[in-house]
A and B are shown apart, each in its own frame.
Chain A
Amino acid sequence: MSLVAFLGSLDAQTIVDAVGLGAVYALMAVGIGLVFGVLRLVNFAYGQLIMAGAYTLAFTSQAGWPTWAGIAMCFVVVILLSGVMDRLVFRPLRTQSPAVMLVTTFAIAFLLQNVALLIDVRDDTIGEPAASVASLNEAVTIWGLDVRKVTIVAVVVAAVSLSLLALLLTRTRVGLQMRAAATDFATARLLGVRANTVIATAVLLSAVIAAAVSVLLTVQNPLVAPDFALKETIIVLVGVVVGGIDRLWTATLGGFSIGFATGVINGALPTDKTVFLPSVVFALVILVLLIRPSGLFARSGTSLVERV
């Protein structure tokens, strides 16, 4: 099938769904990119923050809480957990090599996933349904297209958060400090930027985004299990590095692109043709990294990573 024929065969429905997926992935990319910017830490445990939020939604829903209260609780839990993670794990490790920090976040992810499993299996089944947010999964028909409400919400939430974040980063004092810290933390500190304030802000913003993502993902996948959001986190991490992790915009664009591409490919190809798809996608990832190691959308010559 030629590329033109392939693109021609895409219907508007597939595009709409892919945009919704891309929006969620872009949000996750921002959350990972914010923390990376100030800490140079790739937080693999980001997916487990989302998972914790999803479990909060499931348990509050089973306890009969109103939806708004469940969502509020979800934000509280994710922000608290993220703060604890920063204080107990990220702060002692700030001066360590990226390899040690990344492997530590694996260990944290592993720990949180197994804590979730321990809590989840108390009722002898794995997986907890979150019924309260399911109403968002209904579709509304716009111009003959079935658009699920959650897709609209995802796109709106992504657009609003990205705009607010852009304003925060470019128009406020703490935003300026965060950008300075992301460029050169040592110099920024010499010039009076408070490291703990900047890092706490980045971690907080990243946690708020994680909570929003856990609501959006729970709507689409209301059965919450311990590996919730794990697959998505891995894909987004790949997307973020392929896009260019050094800057927030390129990281976000990378996250959106990989989400959009996944959505389009899944929607357009029949299942029996997609078995070798991961190989093709990851071969492309390798190719992009070889040609542009600092990221597809990154400016050339301004990167942390280099080829030998």
Chain B
Amino acid sequence: MRRLDPWLQLAAPVLLVVSTAIVGSFTSRATEIYFLTAITSVAIVVAIYVFVGNSGVLSFGQISFVAVGAFAAGVMTVPLDSKPGVLPDLFPLLRDHTVGDVPSLVLATVVGAAFAFVAGIPLMRLSGLAAGIATFAVLEITHNLLREWTKIGPGATTLALVPETTDLTRAAIGTVVVIVVAFAYQRSRFGRSLRATREDPAAAQAVGIDVHRQRLWAFTLSGALAGLAGGLYVHMLGSITADQVYLELTFVTLAMLVIGGLTSLWGAVIGALAVSGLDSFLSEAEQGVGVGGVTIDLPQGARLVILGALMALVLVLRPSGLTGGREFGLPRPRGRQPLATDVTSDGAASGPA
């Protein structure tokens, strides 16, 4: 039974994403977009989790890698004959080439990883608030360049005419890839080393773990996955502006991660699906929706208020998140449950309670 635990920990989030996609495929076209958005947010939140959850270092910069992934995949898939019209100032290399949607996702992954690696070399020396503000500075710089530099993208205007190829199947496949990679990483030697530095940096260094190097690995991997998620995102929307991958997305995705439970992959998936699901339900409720014979009709604007209030409520009542920061596990009879901060209850270190 216990030997099944690791597989359950991987199977549960994967099955959840796949069933979300399957349920979504039976709904109308208008409702399908909610399921698509939810699955793509899982990819983004898991990508953030790979660094923030495993290292315990708060980063506001991971959406930068989503942004460069989205713009790389977007700019490179705009049809060749439309490019001079919509993106007149591009570098000739970008202007004269266009790739297919799948290669564009690979490109997004590579660009995200490369950017994260370069930014990570100096930044991964920082901890605590300094790391938070420095990674936030990366987000600001990325947003500023994407918004103003018309040689690499559309500048302040909308990047349109991106093929809308992220359907439910592709979103689910991409997100499952992200989850599998994140799971493989956290069970690998590197992932465990990094989690050790999260619990006690001094002790980890004492047993010979290079904190900077382990953080840089995770930051780069997180950048790669975030780039891929960005690629999926832009192909889902079909058009994007620099403001869509900036502050609001950063706050919402971080909130999803903390609400689910910062220190587990299961938490990242649950948080993303729970918050997206709630958000979708409330958007429908603003139009009026029937639940069990009762029609709920919220006034316009109430959605965001309720969403904010519920997020704050979960964080105050359950600060370790909906999953308590543990990986998925079947309930088994036992006495007192160990604390979430207890290393022995860490999903990667041993089985959960």
Q: Are B255 and A245 in contact (CB under 8 A)?
A: no
Taking CB atoms, residues of chain B closer than 8 Å to A93 are 315-316, 319
Tell me, in angstroms, the Cα distance from A217 to B201 when the chains sit together. Answer: 43
Residues A84-102 near B (CB distance < 8 A) = 88-89, 92-93, 96, 98-100, 102
A-facing residues in B6-57 (Cβ within 8 Å): 52, 56
- Within 8 Å CB of A89, what residues of B? 312, 316
With A93-B316, A241-B129, A241-B130 as contacts: A279 and B141 at CB distance below 8 Å: yes
Task: Evaluate contact between B302 and A118: CB separation under 8 angstroms.
Answer: yes
Smallest CB separation, B125 vs chain A (Å): 5
Interface residue stretch chosen among B83-91, B132-140, B173-181, B226-234: B132-140
Q: Is the Cβ of A305 less than 8 Å from the Cβ of B128?
A: yes
Q: A289 with B258: in contact, given A89-B316, A114-B305 (CB under 8 Å)?
A: no
The docked-state distance in angstroms from the alpha carbon of A96 to that of B314 is: 14
- Contacts A241-B130, A290-B126, A305-B130; A279 near B144 (Cβ below 8 A): yes
Evaluate contact between A289 and B126: CB separation under 8 angstroms: yes
Partner of B308 from A103, A107, A279, A290 at Cβ < 8 Å: A107
Q: Contact size class for A?
A: 35 or more
Is A106 close to B, CB under 8 A? yes
CB–CB A308/B319 < 8 A: no
Q: A90: nearest residue on chain B (CB-CB)?
A: B316
Given known contacts A100-B262, A286-B122, A290-B122, is B136 in contact with A114 (CB within 8 Å)?
A: no
Residues on B with C-beta less than 8 A from A223 are: none
Interface of B is mostly: helix
B333 within 8 A of A: no
The A contact surface, by secondary structure, is: helix
Among B220-262, those with CB < 8 Å from A are 251, 254-255, 258, 262
Q: Give A245 to B129 CA distance when docked, in angstroms.
A: 9
Is A108's beta carbon under 8 Å from chain B? Answer: yes
Instruction: Let me know if B255 and A285 touch, CB within 8 A.
Output: no
Among A99, A107, A293, residue most surrounded by chain B Cβ atoms (within 10 Å): A107
**Contact status of A289 and B251, CB under 8 A, knowing A102-B58, A111-B308, A276-B148:** no
A274 CB to nearest chain B CB (Å):
10
Residues of A within 8 A of B122 (CB): 286, 290
User: Is the CB of A115 closer than 8 A to any CB of chain B?
Assistant: yes
Q: Most chain-B Cβ atoms within 10 A of its Cβ — which of A42, A93, A100, A113? A: A100
- Is B145 part of the binding interface, using a Cβ–Cβ cutoff of 8 Å? yes
Q: Quick check: is A282 within 8 A (CB to CB) of the other chain?
A: yes
Q: Answer whether A111 and B312 are a contact pair too, CB < 8 Å, given A42-B129, A238-B137, A289-B133.
A: yes
Chain A residues, CB < 8 A from B133: 237-238, 241-242, 285, 289
Chain A 244-288, CB within 8 Å of chain B: the 1/0 string?
A: 010000000000000000000000000000011011001101100
Chain B residues whose C-beta falls within 8 Å of the C-beta of A114 in the assembled complex: 301, 304-305, 307-308
Closest Cβ neighbor of A112 among chain B residues: B308
- How far is it, in angstroms, between the C-alpha of A100 and the C-alpha of B302 when the chains are bound? 25
Known: A241-B130, A286-B123. A110 touches B311 (CB 8 A): yes
Complexed CA–CA distance, A307 and B122 (Å): 11
Contact B201 A282 (CB under 8 A): no
Do A111 and B309 form a contact, CB below 8 Å, given A103-B258, A293-B126? yes
Asked whether, in the complex, the Cβ of A286 is within 8 Å of the Cβ of B254, the reply is no
| B197 to chain A: closest residue by CB | A308
In the assembled complex, A123 has its CB within 8 A of some CB on chain B: no
Pick the contact of B129: A98, A118, A290 (CB < 8 A).
A98
Q: How far is the CB of A190 from chain B (nearest CB, A)?
A: 23
Query: Which residues of A are found within 8 Å of B82, using beta-carbon distances?
Result: none
A64 to chain B, nearest CB (A): 27
Q: Closest chain A residue to B60 by CB distance?
A: A102
Name the interface residues of B98-141: CB closer than 8 Å to any CB of A: 122-134, 136-138, 140-141
Contact, CB under 8 Å: B305 / A99: no
A294 at the interface (CB under 8 A from B): yes
How far is B245's CA from A8's CA once the two chains are assembled, in angstroms?
39
Contacts of A108 in B (CB 8 A): 308, 312
B149 / chain A contacts, CB cutoff of 8 Å: 276
26 A-B residue pairings within 8 Å (CB atoms): A42-B129, A93-B316, A99-B52, A99-B58, A102-B132, A106-B251, A106-B254, A106-B255, A107-B311, A110-B251, A111-B305, A113-B308, A114-B301, A115-B308, A117-B301, A117-B304, A241-B129, A242-B133, A275-B144, A276-B145, A279-B144, A285-B134, A286-B122, A289-B133, A290-B125, A290-B134
- Nearest 10 CB-CB pairings of A with B: A111-B308, A282-B137, A114-B304, A305-B128, A308-B211, A107-B311, A293-B130, A107-B312, A104-B315, A278-B144
Which residues of A pack against B, CB within 8 Å? 42, 88-89, 92-93, 96, 98-100, 102-104, 106-108, 110-115, 117-118, 121, 237-238, 241-242, 245, 275-276, 278-279, 282-283, 285-286, 289-290, 293-294, 304-308
Residues of B participating in the A interface, judged by any CB pair closer than 8 Å:
52, 56, 58, 122-134, 136-138, 140-141, 144-145, 148-149, 201, 205, 211-212, 215, 251, 254-255, 258, 262, 299-302, 304-305, 307-309, 311-312, 315-317, 319-320
